[in-house]
Structure 1
Amino acid sequence: MSLDENIRAADAIVAELESQIVSGRLRNKSPLPAERELMEQFGTSRTVVREAISTLSNRGLVESKPRFRPIVSKPDYATVLNATGNVVRHLLNEPGGVKNLYQSRVFMERGLVRQAAVSATKDDISDLKSALEANKNAINNSEEFYRTDNAFHGVLYQIPQNPIFPALHEGYTSWLAPQWAQMLRLPERNLANYKAHKAILDAILERDPDAAEEALSVHLKAAWEYVRVTFDMDAE
């Protein structure tokens, strides 16, 4: 088989297995058929089968581990976003890449806090209060504070009950993590961020979407300035 023929054969396997995964014929979390079984089913070589499985793995449709049969992973919004992770991380290295992604997060969260101020339920408020309390208790533990900071923002993404939004939050957290990991984390900065979170929640409790958006904007603007100075990025 020529290289082009191998590629076409692998694409055919990918198309068929993807169809079976999406339709449920291959059940979520079940193992794929063994390599030899796939070779016989599609009348092709081990190399072609492995290339097809690699493609499925890159698309987030199977989970592959050495010495284990790949496991079916039925796609959801998080799967789709995770599959783009490597491309996004590459784009972050482009001029303005981090700023562009961060601005999209600011735009998103401004809408989310307005939504929360208008429509947050008692359970949503309880979740926000619990997340804020955990954030407060972690002020002197920067690693834990980072986790609880993400968790507080994560609640905002859950309130609209749209499955795309929590997946986006996971994406933002993952894509921006390399930048956050390089930044100096100090208790005094944690305290400032906690106070910003409290101002956001206070505005939500007052059912004031304008105040909630303003508190969120001030918070994320200050956070971006810290990023910009840390990495010596242009102000514009």
Structure 2
Amino acid sequence: MLDAGDRREMPVAITAARAADAMVAGIEAEITSGRLGDGSYLPAERELMIEYGVGRGVVREAIARLASRGLVEARPRFRPIARRPGLDAALGALEGIVGHLLSDQAGVKNLYDLRVFLEGSLARNAAIHARKEDIAALRAALAMNEAAIPDSQQFYATDVAFHAVLYDTARNPVLPVVHKAFTAWLSPQWMRMPRSPERNQVNFLSHREICMAIIERDPDGAERALLNHLSAAWEYVRGTFESREAPEA
């Protein structure tokens, strides 16, 4: 049961929360309508306090909420900057949720399975719809991947670039942003994996199999090669959790 002090504080807290809600809605409407253009400064903190009839704490809470949704860019000692909502902002707003997913093996596996599902479809799509310039980009990415086999750090970069071609080939502007997000979210797991030129060679051969199936217009083969490749890669990722959980000698 709430004591008298709690009951006195609740209306104040509720009023502040509602004031912050109203302020967030008002500024969001200004940004999405274009009245507050992308890259323009929000009014100074004191001006916002006067405009919305709120205290400094409410203004700061509202700005923090807008920043978490990618609608403003907020830095200490600088006026917040309006940001037109886009795909990068939308995915950036998911970072907190994804961070929780990545805290254990089950969460990483769920995110990884989503990538597998998507890339299997992209490989199939590429085998059916890839244009000459897509095939050329895929060949170039594969050649760079092969050249990087002796250098594991460079090999990782060319591995990412090879998979990026599959996302580009679909010609959907959402997909390259999704690939960028997957790379950022899952890269800590890749960094923990043991690396060697021998393992890089195995991954390159998998990439080559995917590439050849796409060139030969074999959607079943392309999807199968992609799924086999990522299934094998998951075993390496899973091993990073086992090494962290192993008791010290």
Q: TM-score, normalised by structure 2?
A: 0.87
AA of the residue aligned to 1:83:
A
Deviation at 1:39, TM superposition (A): 1.6
Deviation at 1:134, TM superposition (A): 2.2
The answer to whether the 8 A contact 2:105-2:238 is kept is: no
Q: Distance in 1 between matches of 2:179 and 2:131?
A: 20
Q: Which runs of 5+ in 2 are unaligned?
A: 1-10, 244-249
Match of 2:95 in 1: 85
Runs of 4+ in 1 over 4 A off after TM superposition: none
AA of the residue aligned to 1:19:
A
Q: Distance in 2 between matches of 1:139 and 1:32?
A: 49
Q: Which runs of 5+ in 1 are unaligned?
A: none
Match of 1:115 in 2: 125
Q: Distance in 2 between matches of 1:141 and 1:199?
A: 21
Deviation at 1:95, TM superposition (A): 5.5
The answer to whether the 8 A contact 1:78-1:170 is kept is: no
Matches for 1:59-98 after TM superposition, within 5 Å: 59-94=69-104, 96-98=106-108
AA of the residue aligned to 2:208:
K
The answer to whether the 8 A contact 2:40-2:82 is kept is: yes
Q: Distance in 1 between matches of 2:216 and 2:239?
A: 34
Q: How much identity, in percent, do the aligned residues show?
A: 54
Match of 1:3 in 2: 13
Number of positions where the alignment pairs a residue of Structure 1 with one of Structure 2: 233
> Structure 1 residue 150 and structure 2 residue 160: aligned?
yes
Q: Distance in 2 between matches of 1:138 and 1:144?
A: 6
Residues 18-37 of structure 1, C-alpha deviations (whole Å, 9 max, x = no match)? 11111211111222222122
Q: Which is greater in Rg?
A: 2
> Structure 1 residue 185 and structure 2 residue 195: aligned?
yes
Q: Distance in 1 between matches of 2:195 and 2:175?
A: 27
Residues 38-80 of structure 1, C-alpha deviations (whole Å, 9 max, x = no match)? 1222122222111111001111111122222222221122221
> Structure 1 residue 163 and structure 2 residue 163: aligned?
no
Q: Distance in 2 between matches of 1:226 and 1:217?
A: 15
RMSD between superposed Cα atoms in Å:
1.7
Q: Distance in 2 between matches of 1:71 and 1:133?
A: 42
Deviation at 1:148, TM superposition (A): 1.7
AA of the residue aligned to 2:146:
K
